[in-house]
Chains A and B, each alone.
Chain A
């Protein structure tokens, strides 16, 4: 119901023809790419750990994992690279009203992101093809520039999104952008905290997803050293990330009430200003009234404003034309919080029991949960992006440029959206088919995975 409500809300306004398809297009391509971007950011660090262990401790199990993960990353990074390119094109194709006037304000971080993408792609090529062709220790070190590039790249891209929430580095004079300071735009107030939030989220997504793969293996009775190590390394990364994330999220949202009161009101489903504000769980806003919500008194003020009395400003203080789609934002936000809390609780339970000498990896219910933790982390990631993006509406640059002004007039974009759905569905299917066949062949004892298209391999070379 929320999606159709959003659609209705959008359709009823006087919007340029290119607006709604552009938004759906952006949501699809960004929502798809962000999952792969997570792998680009977090996977090299995990591969580094197992690869290093393989070399330093002369551990063939760890080295085997590193080889497999590097082949998986070859597939994931390739589709991540091309889906990222889609976004570069879309910036101009879908949002001429943003890129024309503001390109020189927001563009600089993208230039640095381009550099980190270069570094990542170069060292990925060296790492993937370096197996058996380089001194092992130098080969291992090739992962470090990739991991570093992941940090820098995340900061740069997120810095642009943070700028859209907290615009800086320019002044508007009679509708003209003047006084441009790209450094101030890049290092805006939100950039660092929002970067941390996303960077840690990447480790949650990848950590839980990869450990989930080995949890499935253990569920099917494959309880060897390979599966235990393959589970535990990414799970440790995910643990640290899942336990830090609530604090980062809280700090990021700290002064949201001052910065973007409409977004906070939507997050908290605050129709009116109540002092102290309750924490409102669930619920739907129908005709200006909150229905079916569970209210926990005072907690809303405490979490959102760090105060026992200071209220969350209600939606009734915000002009209707400046309000985001409330229900959609609220539910997306609470989905993120709910899933994040669940995942943090689960890892806490795992390590507490392990400390007490009980291993949850022996429990089928926990393995089943661990297998779903990856998809759950993806849900939290997507919900978080929906919350922040839809919650910023109707603005694309908060308080400066409305989304309607950024879109073009091209109604043909619906065709583009349809084609994109087809291509992305095909790409997803291709990736799933190929990755599954890789796993199947590995289980059957193959290591090299020669291309069926190639000639018979002349000699066995690990690659």
Chain B
């Protein structure tokens, strides 16, 4: 493997991790938003608090990791992407800021009124943010971001691929979060809540699956390079994603949410990975390849040192955190 490929693979691991774990945190906003009034939704909102509270900041850092790796390893494309996609990027950023701040504020809010306000901001921004990040992915995947300079401010992300990308991002986040929350509810013995979550996760899963299929038609016209890749090199991943998604639904129907978490992660990972494989060797589709976009080789080598350190330091620490949150002592509040 060439140096740029190694670095882009490391970068994409970050994209994947953010989509899965950051995505699950964002997705919980959907259930929070639709939980009902303050009394009716109390149990679910407490579960959301408890499930994402210890992990959301760590999961959020994957985004920082991706940005930093991107601007260091592929600086010109970072500049052109940021200039072109300034609007969806800013809207995503706004969502990220509001989500994080209001989540922390809600937990320690002094009155019910404040908690409702912060809670509403948290939930709405959680649902909306993945849309803009999905739209960014769609813009890159459909070849609308130039290698240098600035593309169109509006049509770059208001197009079929971006809109479907955004919708799919919202759906997959909610789907992931649903399986996780259902499993958490089962583990903490909240039967009524786990049933409610299970039903809603199933609905989200069916709708998301339908959106993914509906996207295939406009995608062939709007993003031909991506479609070629999805039908060719990435086809096994697309099939795998469909199988894993279906398996998740079946497992949820059969009340096996703990296992369903794994298949749900697999389904979303396959979609995201499929996008990456489908647009290979392009970094920005139809515009510039990974090899051509790469910055100074000395910097790429240095970045690999950072990646190795991340593997040695961050991954074990993250595993420890996840294991703690799944342990018996941490389950009951």
Contacts and interface: CB of A to CB of B under 8 A. Distances in A.
B109 A451 contact: yes
Contact of B42 (A105, A119, A183, A455): A455
A117 B330 contact: no
Contacts of A183: 298, 302
A149 to B, nearest CB: 10
Nearest to B301: A182
Given A96-B82, A108-B302, A434 B96 contact: no
Interface string A433-458: 11001101100000001011111000
Interface string B303-331: 10010011001100110110011000110
Interface stretch (B58-66, B176-184, B201-209, B277-285): B58-66
Contacts of A107: 68, 71-73, 75, 295, 299, 303
Interface string A71-99: 10011011101111110110111001101
B71 A115 contact: no
B101 A104 contact: no
Given A74-B107, A449-B108, A82 B330 contact: no
Instruction: Kindly state the interface size class of chain B when it binds its partner.
Output: 35 or more
Contact of B45 (A118, A119, A145, A453): A453
Contact of B310 (A82, A118, A409, A438): A118
A211 B67 CA distance: 37
A441 B103 CA distance: 20
A99 B317 contact: no
A21 to B, nearest CB: 12
A425 to B, nearest CB: 12
Interface in B46-64: 46, 49, 53-55, 57-58, 60-61, 63-64
Contacts of A103: 71-72, 74-76, 78-79, 295
Contacts of B115: 451-453
A381 B77 CA distance: 35
A453 B108 contact: no
Q: Which of A91, A92, A105, A124 gathers the greatest number of chain B CB atoms within 10 Å? A: A92
Contacts of B68: 88, 107, 110-111, 113-114
A115 B38 CA distance: 39
A433 B60 CA distance: 25
Contacts of B72: 103-104, 107-108, 110-111, 182
Interface in A107-134: 107-108, 110-115, 117-119, 121-126, 128-130, 133-134
A77 B45 contact: no
B114 interface: yes
A125 B321 contact: yes
A89 B100 contact: no
Given A125-B54, A455-B43, A71 B108 contact: yes
B79 A99 contact: yes
A427 B109 contact: no
A88 B64 contact: yes
B157 to A, nearest CB: 14
A115 B150 CA distance: 31
B45 A122 contact: no
Nearest to B46: A454
B83 interface: yes
Contacts of B5: none
Contacts of A438: 108, 110
Interface stretch (B85-93, B217-225, B249-257): B85-93
Contacts of A74: 104, 107-108
A119 B321 CA distance: 11
A100 interface: yes
A94 to B, nearest CB: 9
Contacts of A416: 90
A451 B48 CA distance: 12
Given A83-B97, A118-B65, A427-B97, A125 B58 contact: yes
B64 A128 contact: no
Nearest to A186: B302
B79 A92 contact: yes
Contact of A108 (B38, B79, B82, B303): B303
B81 interface: yes
B312 to A, nearest CB: 10
Nearest to B32: A453
Contact of B61 (A96, A112, A118): A118
Given A107-B71, A108-B306, A75 B104 contact: yes
Nearest to B53: A129
Contact of B317 (A83, A100, A145, A419): A145
A97 B89 CA distance: 18
Contacts of B81: 92
B94 interface: yes
Nearest to A177: B296
A247 to B, nearest CB: 33
Given A74-B107, A430-B101, A133 B329 contact: yes
A254 interface: no
A134 B299 CA distance: 41
Contacts of A455: 42-43, 46
B199 to A, nearest CB: 21
Contact of A89 (B73, B90, B320): B90
Contacts of A99: 71, 75, 78-79, 82
A117 B64 contact: yes
Q: Which of A79, A85, A86, A118 gathers the greatest number of chain B CB atoms within 10 Å? A: A118
Contact of A463 (B73, B98, B309, B333): B333
Nearest to B73: A104
Contacts of A129: 53-54, 324-325, 330
B108 A75 contact: yes
A125 B57 contact: yes
Given A88-B68, A430-B118, A453 B76 contact: no
A84 B90 CA distance: 14
Contact of A75 (B53, B75, B105, B148): B105
Contacts of B134: none
Contacts of B106: 451, 453
Contacts of A430: 101-102, 105, 118
Contact of B67 (A89, A100, A128): A89
10 contacts: A92-B67, A93-B89, A100-B78, A103-B79, A107-B299, A111-B69, A118-B318, A408-B150, A451-B107, A452-B112
Enumerate the 10 nearest inter-chain pairs by beta-carbon distance, A residue then B residue, closest first. A107-B72, A103-B75, A437-B110, A104-B295, A92-B82, A78-B104, A180-B296, A100-B79, A125-B54, A82-B100
Interface of B: 38, 42-43, 45-46, 49, 53-55, 57-58, 60-61, 63-65, 67-69, 71-76, 78-83, 86, 89-90, 93-94, 96-112, 114-116, 118-119, 148, 150, 295-296, 298-300, 302-303, 306, 309-310, 313-314, 317-318, 320-321, 324-325, 329-330, 333
Given A75-B104, A92-B83, A126-B321, 15 more contacts: A82-B97, A85-B96, A85-B100, A86-B97, A88-B67, A99-B79, A100-B76, A100-B148, A104-B73, A104-B300, A114-B306, A125-B57, A180-B295, A434-B110, A437-B111
